Amino acid sequence: MSRASLSKESSLKELPGAAKLLKTSGSKQAQKPVTPPRKARTPGQHPRQKVELRRKETGVRRYSLRERKGHVYQDVSEPQDDDYLYCEECQNFFIDSCAAHGPPTFVKDSAVEKGHANRSALTLPPGLSIRLSGIPEAGLGVWNEASDLPRGLYFGPYEGQITDDEEAANSGYSWLITKGRNCYEYVDGKDTSWANWMR
């Protein structure tokens, strides 16, 4: 026997069952691939059940989409037009603070309880006065009595009775506030005991 055949025989000892195939190399059986022996299926056991058993044995867990908990998403509210302030120096809009000039300066009203007679005139901040306007048929206006007011001061907010009565639109002292689609309310400054000086 040649050395080549000896090396084949030694490898056949390592692979039991393959020796017959190599010895009968001319037969059809030698040309077919060898498949590993199958376990006999238990009667009534479905192949899918077999796969599930194998998964359990190997520790692999499969998740169904139905087992997953849903996520809750919410809309991020975009800033509304009224959320923006305007910087007189940069001539740009900002939300909380101007990037170049910092936070805005608000001038507070003089404190007067609501319901006080002539409250609107008494809430005027120091350094301002209410007089007849120089504009024809404009009525009263607000005048600066101080020497200089720094640029970019903010006054307000406008105060009055809040109502959804559409008659408030005819008072001449009301602001229309949009609360949503086709939903409005008014801040009506007609009553001087509820309004502030901005009326």
198 in a structural domain: no
Q: Is 137 exposed, middle or buried (0-12, 13-18, 19+ CB in 10 A)?
A: exposed
Note the pLDDT tens digit of each residue in 171-186. Answer: 889 998 887 777 889 9
Over residues 159-166, mean pLDDT: 91
| Domain coverage including residue 101 | 81-188
**DSSP codes, 100-142:** TTBS-EEEPPPP--TT-TTHHHHTPPTTEEEEE-SSTT--EEE
- Checking if the pLDDT of 13 tops 60, the result is no
142 in a structural domain: yes
Whole-model pTM: value is: 0.55
pLDDT for res 197:
96
Note the pLDDT tens digit of each residue in 55-106. Answer: 666 665 666 666 666 777 777 777 777 788 999 889 999 999 999 999 999 9
The backbone torsions φ and ψ at residue 171, rounded to the nearest 5 degrees and listed phi first, read -70, -25
* Contact criterion met (CB below 8 Å) for 152 and 101: yes
More confident residue, 61 or 149: 149
pLDDT for res 34:
56
* Contact criterion met (CB below 8 Å) for 94 and 85: yes
pLDDT for res 33:
59
pLDDT for res 57:
63
Band the pLDDT of 8: cuts 50, 70, 90: very low
pLDDT for res 2:
47
199 in a structural domain: no
Q: What is the overall mean pLDDT for the chain? A: 77
Q: Indicate the number of domains in the chain.
A: 1
pLDDT for res 190:
93
56 in a structural domain: no
- Checking if the pLDDT of 9 tops 80, the result is no
More confident residue, 152 or 27: 152
Over residues 123-140, mean pLDDT: 92
10 in a structural domain: no
Which tokens in the block code for residue 43? 């009667």
Which tokens in the block code for residue 155? 């006054």
Query: Which CATH number goes with the domain that contains 130?
Result: 2.170.270.10
pLDDT for res 125:
94
4 in a structural domain: no
